[in-house]
Amino acid sequence: MTLAADAIELPSGQTMPVLGQGTWYLGERPARRRDELAALRAGLDLDMTMIDTAEMYGDGASEELVGEAIVGRRADVFLVDKVLPSHASRRETVRACRRSLQRLGVDHIDLYLLHWRGAHPLAETVEAFGELVEAGDIGQWGVSNFDLYDMQDLLEAGGGACATNQILYNLTRRGPEFDLLPWLREHQIPVMAYSPIEQGRLLGHPQVAEVAARHEATAAQVALAWLLRQGAIAAIPRSSNPEHTRENAEARDLDLAEEDVAALDAAFPPPAGPQPLEML
């Protein structure tokens, strides 16, 4: 089996890194800021150049942290941000994006996502995304937490330019494998997996630890490698510690054997039928 590629081709022909950095809960505690900045910058040094944030995270505090971390390195970063559903009307999407740009201290966002589906018509949000692309404020757009029926509605609303769907997907959350992931692959829409280590809860699982021991790896590396081996799936683990960031980066070099995958399938069975998409 070949190792995961370093980047995933998006429907536009552009690429996004296969392994990035999440920032949920980062930037909210001043006492942790130095370590959080060091962790993000360590990730950039290790070619984990995709950084994901959102206006919701710390009410903009995460965006400000990211903006500080990437000073002088904007050209190296694939920046992902998200608009709240309550701001997703045509007019408010544009305003929210420009507020995010100001907090980030940048002139464009590479990939801008609707954080989850809300009350505003999808067609309005799609129109706003198109306006932002045309203005150069964003490079591409996508969605987050969209289940199969949401994706179908999105295409009917004119959302054929959707670049990705960011979803909760990991060894313990395999529901998307039954119908959502096949549909996304059919439509050549890559997945971005958030909480790929289940907010740390996978670290103590005995079967994951057993696979990790066979490779002299960590449980986090196994969980990430399991995702990345599938192709067309990116992962955005969060870290506030430079050493943990380095461990995450090394997951790209972990080649799981078929016996490892079988052991993980036995411990975390794939879905036997459709399941609602889970969210955190």
What is the C-alpha radius of gyration for the chain, rounded to an integer number of angstroms?
Answer: 18
Burial class for 133, CB neighbours closer than 10 Å (0-12, 13-18, 19+): middle
Beta-bridge mates of residue 173: 170
Cβ atoms of 193 and 144 closer than 8 Å = no
List the one residue out of 20, 103, 17, 5 whose CA is nearest residue 56: 103
Out of 25, 57, 112, 169, the active site residue is 57
Note whether 44 and 73 are within 8 A (CB): yes
Give per-residue burial for 36-65: e unless 16+ CB within 10 Å, then b.
bbbbbbbbbebebbbbbbbbbbbebbbbbb
Q: Are 240 and 39 in contact (CB under 8 A)?
A: yes
Residue 186's Cβ-count burial label (10 Å; 0-12, 13-18, 19+) is: exposed
Please state the φ and ψ torsions of residue 112, each to the nearest 5 degrees.
-115, 125
Query: CA 112, CA 149: separation in Å to the nearest integer?
Result: 21
Identify whether 112 is a catalytic site residue: no
Residues annotated catalytic, as ranges: 57
